[in-house]
Amino acid sequence: MRNRKLLLAFLSATILAFEGISLGWSAYADGENTLVEHALRTTFALYISTLVVRSIGQCTIHRHSESVIHITTLTFFSSVLHFVTAILPSSDFISAHSIQELPQLLALWYAVTVAYILTFAIIATTPRGPPLHYSPSFIYSQKTIDDTTNKAYENVCGIPGASVVDYLWFRYVTRVVQLGSSDSVEIGDLPILPATMRATYQFFRMRMNLRAKPLKPGWDLAWRLLSINKLGFLIESLLAASAAPMWFASPFFVRKLIAYLEGDPDRLDRGWGWVYALAQFASLVIVSQREFLFSAMLSTSILMCHKSTIKCGSSRQLLSKLACVHSSTPCSSRRHLCERMSCPRLVSRRPRGKITKILTEKARRRMGKRMNSRAKRRL
């Protein structure tokens, strides 16, 4: 954990140095057309090093996690490509071609592969932010807080600070699972959700959207839900599109593997056997992970948005009715309205528009002072 980014900087500098040496080597060796590929690889190494060096000084959750995600994705992509090309058995033509090459260049290539995999392993396990504390009094009533048995100070769900690997393998759920061993589980014992998953946040988004343009009857509601969650839908459909062929990939590779086992009983050329086995493993992992990764989050968001739409819609109708009945008593109307909508959260809330009140009071005082000073001057 300690010296993590420094180690990363060292590793990326090593990769860059190795790529630079290979580039120089390939420039000297005439007759082989490898200069372009080495130049492109050096560009990639340079970009990774720039990202790593840039991330050293970043001390905000947003910036840091952005860097971590970018470096993780790039090094993962690079590691997978290197690994696949390393285990892929070369055809006769290419192997005859590679005999002429220098063994040093090959050693450098493997060293770069190992360095990429190491970089990926380090950055993928780096946390994206510190653990968080959220005051329970903001969202729970005093009774709920008193009932809470889980007194851990770190009470926010671990999603915002989870490392990339923890996020992909749902490690932040461990705390909830551990709650099962305690005597009683109350609502306050559960980790508090991050901001984007809270009902009030979704309610706010939907409310803003409905305020900008009133809801029309018919398909408009479906369209609103879709447009508010467009990013989630986009990611979900992209993941689905990429994972769909994987359903067929797994049986395909099993068939290939069996064909290989039957065709090569003495196991003389094991290269293709390894490739098929690993491809089958990878396709299974991708299919199983996609099922859970984003769909849960998206469905929660849609559900919340849908609920808040109903509330927003009904609020407008109810308000117009109540405006006629309780026009003189806004406070009681609010309470009444909230009770009718069976939303205890709204009832228990402190009055809205507190900031406005404070501001208007200040303005009044200032106005009063000015008036006084003017009156004094006149006198």
Partner 1 sequence: MPPYQLLLAEALVGATIISSFALFLARSQQQKIYLPTFQDASLADDVDQDPFNVTKPEDFIDGEPIDEDAFWAKVSV
Using CB under 8 A, which residues numbered 130 to 169 contact partner 1? 130-135, 138, 153-156, 160
Residue 192, SS3?
strand
Q: How far is the CB of 120 from partner 1 (least distance, A)?
A: 13
Interface of this chain with partner 1, residues 217 to 256, rule: CB under 8 A? none
Looking at beta carbons only, is 196 or 227 nearer to partner 1?
A: 196
* Of 69-77, 175-183, 221-229, 242-250: span binding partner 1 (CB under 8 A): 69-77
Looking at beta carbons only, is 81 or 258 nearer to partner 1?
A: 81
Question: 178 and 165 in contact (C-beta within 8 Å)?
Answer: no
How many C-beta neighbours within 10 Å does residue 177 have?
8
Interface of this chain with partner 1, residues 340 to 369, rule: CB under 8 A? 345-346, 349, 351-353, 355-357, 359-360
**According to the binding rule CB under 8 A, does residue 70 interact with partner 1?**
yes
CA angle at 89 for the pair 84 and 95, rounded to the nearest 5°:
120
The sign one gets for the Cα dihedral 167, 203, 192, 340 is negative
- DSSP states of 283-327: HHHHHHHHHHHTHHHHHHHHHHHHHHHHHHHHHHHHHHHHHHHST
- DSSP states of 218-259: STHHHHHHHHHTHHHHHHHHHHHHHHHHHHHHHHHHHHHHHH
- Please tell me the count of residues contacting partner 1 according to CB under 8 A: 87
Q: How far is the CB of 13 from partner 1 (least distance, A)?
A: 16
Q: Which residue of 245, 251, 330, 368 would you call a contact of partner 1, by CB under 8 A? A: 330
**According to the binding rule CB under 8 A, does residue 31 interact with partner 1?**
no
Q: How far is the CB of 360 from partner 1 (least distance, A)?
A: 8
Looking at beta carbons only, is 15 or 225 nearer to partner 1?
A: 15
Q: Which residue of 17, 21, 53, 105 would you call a contact of partner 1, by CB under 8 A? A: 105
The sign one gets for the Cα dihedral 297, 298, 302, 308 is positive
**According to the binding rule CB under 8 A, does residue 98 interact with partner 1?**
yes
**According to the binding rule CB under 8 A, does residue 171 interact with partner 1?**
no
Q: Which two tokens stand for residue 55?
A: 């991330």
